[in-house]
Structure 1
Amino acid sequence: MKLPGIPHSLSGAFVSLAAACTVLAGCASAGNVTAADRQDTFVVSASASGGRLAWARAHKRAVSAASDYCESRGMQASLGIEQMDGIEALQQQGSTIRFECHPKL
């Protein structure tokens, strides 16, 4: 890709840098919802890596997965305990949430 006013070798470097930044900003992914040790209690884990606020993306994805799970059953999620993993900025961050599904009010 040729960027106007920038030598070709630098253009490639800028494109590569932009791609790397996009990967580092990353998306969050969630695993399957599983039954917990108590009846009507479920667990879901999500993770995100790289960039600032990866923990927030992991949390948001876990909450979304819990909400979607309950919503698919015509119910609403009631979030319980959350465990966060990973503390360094470029390290994978994780969120594991225990939740229950309750009838909508």
Structure 2
Amino acid sequence: MNALRFVRSRPKVLVSLAAACALLAGCASSSDVSATDKQGVFVASASASGGRLAWARAHRRAMTEATDYCESRGMQPSMNYEHTAGIDALSEHDSVIRFECHPKL
């Protein structure tokens, strides 16, 4: 009887675990790539919150934005500078990347 109850509640447990993991993983958002006052230099920024590795998700999202921007022009990104902010596990972490697009080798 107890085994039958466990089998019936198993999907609920799995859904609950998946929801908890998604909540702890958090998400990252980014803004559009923008040009700077220096010709050929662009900025991509992203932020993430929730969990210890929020800074890594923000960095990865900003890098993805820079890569996508350059690749849509048949080029590759070259990162010049990155500024990060946020150190607490539950705070929002930001990554701002300044980059250029160069021809692929």
**Fold shared per TM-score above 0.5:** yes
Aligned residue number for residue 59 of structure 2:
59
CA contact (8 A) 1:55 1:94 kept: yes
Aligned residue number for residue 71 of structure 1:
71
Aligned residue number for residue 104 of structure 2:
104
CA contact (8 A) 1:24 1:49 kept: no
Write out aligned runs for 1:34-53 (5 A): 34-53=34-53
Q: Which runs of 5+ in 2 are unaligned?
A: none
SS, match of residue 87 in structure 1: coil
SS, match of residue 58 in structure 1: helix
Structure holding more helix per residue: 2
CA contact (8 A) 1:58 1:93 kept: yes
1:18 is displaced (CA, Å) by 5.3
| Paired-residue identity, % | 62
Q: Could you list the runs of 4 or more consecutive aligned residues of structure 1 that deviate by over 3 angstroms after TM superposition?
A: none
Q: Which amino acid aligns with 2:28?
A: A
Using the size of structure 1 for normalisation, the TM-score is 0.81
